[in-house]
Structure 1
Amino acid sequence: MKFSDAEWAVMNAVWTQPPASARDVLERTQPDTAWAYSTVRTMLARLVEKGALSVRKRANTSLYEPLVTRGGARRAALRSLLNNAFDGTVGPLIQHMVADEKLSPRDRETITRMLAEAEKEAGRAE
């Protein structure tokens, strides 16, 4: 499932603390956007149509809950980026990230550990 930047903002607001009303989403996105309440309602309705959110009524309020996990959405977005921008190969993506992004010492340590574990797994499989 693909999300626009605005849809990512809405989904992140819902994932933060579900269920969420349109007012909750507006408040959670307000520091970074100048959206009107009606804009948030429209985006929520579109995400329901896409199958990313469910909606239920409680009194006069519509409450939205995610039908997709944040991890699943991230994996799908990364797979799309990998296929479209890096011809489906991980190496150039990682090289780009290491060369162009600021990696903290913790990030470098995590990547090094993950590569060492992958190397071990590859050795066992052979």
Structure 2
Amino acid sequence: MDTKIDEITPSEWDLMRIVWTKGKVQTGELITLLQRKRDWSDSTIKTLLGRLVKKGLLATTKDGRKFVYHATVEEAEAMDETVTELFAHLCAMKKGATLADLIQKTPLTAADISRLQGILAEKAKTAPETVPCDCLPPDPAVSADDAADCDC
């Protein structure tokens, strides 16, 4: 079964984050933990669990009379696919500014910052002067230089 990472709702993300953190979790514990964050009924949480199983993102095993849930996709894979999908919708010219804003607003460890600095230093070696806009299809009547002056 194909997983449907691109279809995870914000509510389902809350649930998945608990499962990823715990590794394996019984229904009762999952409900207790999620109700500490959200004012949701047991049936709402069970509905979300069912949807995530249908989407191929969770699997269940039975432990006596209890169900145990575990993720079928790694958290890093889900985050990467989600971010990649989101950035695919953005103007290529504005992705750098969006990343800069995101970095500015995100709490980072010293190790995170060091890693980012290393990545940026490597990218700087081959970075172009400008990134062309990709919002509109290329116009054969417009030169590449004029297309770079896009105001989108």
Normalising by structure 1, we get a TM-score of 0.80
Q: What is the deviation of 1:117?
A: 3.3
Q: What is the deviation of 1:105?
A: 7.4
Equivalences for residues 1-126 of structure 1 within 5 A: 1-2=5-6, 3-84=8-89, 86-87=90-91, 90-98=95-103, 101=105, 106=110, 107-119=112-124, 122=126
1:73-112 CA distances to partner (integer Å, 9 max, x unpaired)? 000110121012x23564232133245x255573544422
Partner SS state of residue 57, structure 1: strand
Partner SS state of residue 47, structure 2: helix
Q: What is the deviation of 1:39?
A: 1.2
Partner SS state of residue 39, structure 1: helix
Is 1:55–1:63's contact at 8 Å kept on the other side of the alignment?
Answer: yes
Q: Give unpaired runs (5+ residues) of structure 2.
A: 128-152
By percentage of residues, which structure has more helix? Answer: 1
Normalising by structure 2, we get a TM-score of 0.67
Amino acid at match of 2:28: R
CA distance in 1, matches of 2:20, 2:43: 20
CA distance in 2, matches of 1:83, 1:71: 18
Aligned pair count reads 120
CA distance in 2, matches of 1:102, 1:73: 19
Q: Give unpaired runs (5+ residues) of structure 1.
A: none
Amino acid at match of 1:39: T
Which stretch of structure 1 is more off in the superposition, 104-113 or 71-80?
104-113
Q: 1:103 to 1:15 in 2, by over 3 A?
A: closer
Please say which structure displays the higher CA radius of gyration. 2
CA distance in 1, matches of 2:84, 2:59: 25
Q: 1:56 to 1:97 in 2, by over 3 A?
A: same
Q: RMSD of the alignment, in Å?
A: 2.4
